[in-house]
Amino acid sequence: MPAQIITSDDLREFRNELLECIKGLFEAQKVQREVSEKKWLKSCEVRKLLQISVGTLQNLRLKGALPFTKIGGSLYYDYDDIQKILELNKKNNSLI
C-alpha cells in the first residue's frame, strides 16, 4: 500500500470544512434554543424547526394534524402542540 502525503493545503482544507460543520451545529442549536423559548411560532419558524416545506406545513394544517391560530394574515402555532405531535408520532424501531 503506497504512502499518502498530506500537505499543508490538505490540512487547511480539512480545517475549513471542520469549522463549517461546527458553525452549522452551533447555528442549528441557536435556532432550536430561540424557537423553544417562544410560546407562539410563526410558519417560517415551524418550518425551520421541523425542516419541512411550505406545502407540508399547509397539509398538516388542512388535515387538522397541527393546530394553529390565525390573526390577520399571520398564522401562529403553539410550541407545546408541536412537541405533543412529535411525541405522539414517535416510533420505536427496536431491532429484533
Q: How many CB atoms are closer than 10 A to CB 47? A: 15
DSSP character at residue 41: E
Weakest mean pLDDT among 11-20, 35-44, 46-55: 35-44
pTM: 0.58
Provide the pLDDT for residue 89: 79
Of the two residues 11 and 89, the one the predictor is more confident about is: 11
Q: CATH number of the domain at 11-88, please?
A: 1.10.1660
